[in-house]
Amino acid sequence: MIDRVFSKLKGDRWIWIIVIILSIWSMLAVYSSVGTLAYKNSKGSEVYLIKHTSMIVGGFALMYFSHLLDYRYYAGISKILMIVTIPILLYTLIFGETINDANRWVTIPVINQTFQTSDLAKLALITFLARMLTRKQGNIKDVKKSFIPVMGSVCIIFVLIAWANLSTALMLFGVSILLLIIGRISLKQIALVCVGGGLLLLLVIFVGPRRDTYVSRVNTYMNGGEADPDKSYQADHSKIAIATGGFFGKGPGNSTERNVLPHPYSDFIFAIIVEEYGALGAIVLIALYIVFMYRCIRIVTQSPKAFGALLAAGLGFSLTIQALANMAVAVGLGPVTGVPLPLVSMGGTSILFTSVALGIILSVSRNIEEAKLESNKKVVVGEIPAMG
């Protein structure tokens, strides 16, 4: 039965297994942590579980069809995504839905579903960078032909996202720098990109509409909430959830901090998981993301084409860094941000975009497997002696 299922799923089998485990764990954790939200909106927890499960099923469908498409087609798709992404990000900043003093969401007409446009921008920039770096390998050191187009795309997307979502922009900028290093951009040029990014960061922090929020969060993190305990409320209760979980946890559905923490089903779902499954659960969860990154690195090293290697590296790093950032915030290693835990947090369209990214990685892996099979067939045919 299992072999029959996996025979339909091409690409790295371990990545498929990790995605399935995280998805099941996500349903358990979300169902456990939406009680307060359900009570507030006079709905049953099952309503949110069904909605979340439908998103996971939709994500699996997108992942499956994305991994069937030859990854080389994503080079052309990336151009379309970049052309569409920049106007959408501008539209979001001006007309987007304002939640927690940030314009990050756009409502899709007819279905009345909101989605965070930075999720689309991450996918667009990483695939576009992979394409650009592959196409420019012949004159990669040329400032006019290679450096300026690459730097321009990174900085434009960075500013448009950072204006309303600084944490996501910083992570995406970090992933972009990693891709530039892998893509053989010179260290001098990378340093210039970092300087340019730093100047843009200062512009966003001191001139942007959320400057007071950024300063407040950093001050709260540095001072531990001594000046204003209300501002450290989320971080404090996240630590309480983690501390009371012990090694084996309180058991699924037995969290108490889920009734106190804001957004326990998204931003702080890791704290709820540790409270219910203990340090053992945290170790297993972290191990799953580390193994996922290891499998992505294997795909990078085995890919015969630069574009496939850069795609797997960029998307793999993006998802892993996001996961580590979410967990770091939950344990108090960083200021509070609104970064979800990939494939685990409840978050409609973020699950769908994450699934597409995973599908692209699996497409690269599938191509490697098919190339190996083709190579083996040629070797076997070549060994058969000629008849007559």
Q: Residue 265 pLDDT more than 80?
A: yes
Q: Which pLDDT value is given to residue 386?
A: 46
Q: Residue 179 pLDDT more than 70?
A: yes
Quickly state the pLDDT bin for 388 (edges 50, 70, 90). Answer: very low
Distances in whole angstroms, Cα of residue 152 to Cα of each of 46, 110, 192, 200, 201: 46, 35, 12, 12, 15
115 and 29 within one domain: no
Most confident of 146-160, 167-181, 226-240: 167-181
The total number of structural domains that make up the chain: 2
Alpha carbon 41 to chain centroid distance? 29
Quickly state the pLDDT bin for 142 (edges 50, 70, 90). Answer: low
308 and 281 within one domain: yes
98 and 81 within one domain: yes
198 and 161 within one domain: yes
Residue 271 domain-assigned (yes or no): yes
301 and 245 within one domain: yes
In contact, 291 and 164? CB cutoff 8 Å: no
Angle between helices 306-330 and 348-383 (to 10 degrees): 140
Quickly state the pLDDT bin for 7 (edges 50, 70, 90). Answer: low
239 and 326 within one domain: yes
Quickly state the pLDDT bin for 338 (edges 50, 70, 90). Answer: confident
CA–CA separation, 207 and 218 (whole Å):
16
Higher-pLDDT residue of 135, 105: 135
Percent of the chain with pLDDT over 90: 40
- Predicted TM-score (pTM) above 0.85: yes
Q: Which pLDDT value is given to residue 187?
A: 82
Residue 19 domain-assigned (yes or no): yes
Higher-pLDDT residue of 94, 223: 94
CA–CA separation, 375 and 17 (whole Å):
27
188 and 234 within one domain: no
80 and 54 within one domain: no
Higher-pLDDT residue of 108, 47: 47
Taking residues 343-359, what's their average pLDDT?
Answer: 89
Q: Which pLDDT value is given to residue 285?
A: 96
Taking residues 171-192, what's their average pLDDT?
Answer: 86
Residue 373 domain-assigned (yes or no): no
Residue 382 domain-assigned (yes or no): no
131 and 33 within one domain: no
Angle, CA of 346, 336 and 289, to the nearest 5°: 55
Higher-pLDDT residue of 385, 118: 118
78 and 35 within one domain: no
Residue 29 domain-assigned (yes or no): yes
Please list, residue by residue across 232-251, b when 16 or more beta carbons sit within 10 angstroms of its beta carbon and e when fewer do.
bbbbbbbbbbbeebeeebbe
Quote the domain boundaries for residue 6. Answer: 1-68+227-363
Residue 219 domain-assigned (yes or no): no
Kindly report the average pLDDT of the chain as a whole number.
85
Q: Which two tokens stand for residue 372?
A: 């190996």
Q: Residue 241 pLDDT more than 70?
A: yes
Taking residues 184-204, what's their average pLDDT?
Answer: 83
130 and 60 within one domain: no
Q: Which pLDDT value is given to residue 167?
A: 85
Q: Residue 308 pLDDT more than 90?
A: yes
Q: Residue 168 pLDDT more than 70?
A: yes
86 and 42 within one domain: no
pLDDT digits (tens, 9 = 90+) for 361-381: 999 999 998 888 877 777 666
Q: Which pLDDT value is given to residue 11?
A: 85
Q: Which two tokens stand for residue 162?
A: 């950072």
Residue 293 domain-assigned (yes or no): yes
Angle between helices 148-162 and 166-182 (to 10 degrees): 160
Q: Residue 245 pLDDT more than 80?
A: yes
Reference 45, options 31, 28, 55, 57; nearest CA is: 31
Taking residues 131-155, what's their average pLDDT?
Answer: 76
Alpha helices, H only, 224-347: 233-245, 269-302, 306-330
Residue 287 domain-assigned (yes or no): yes
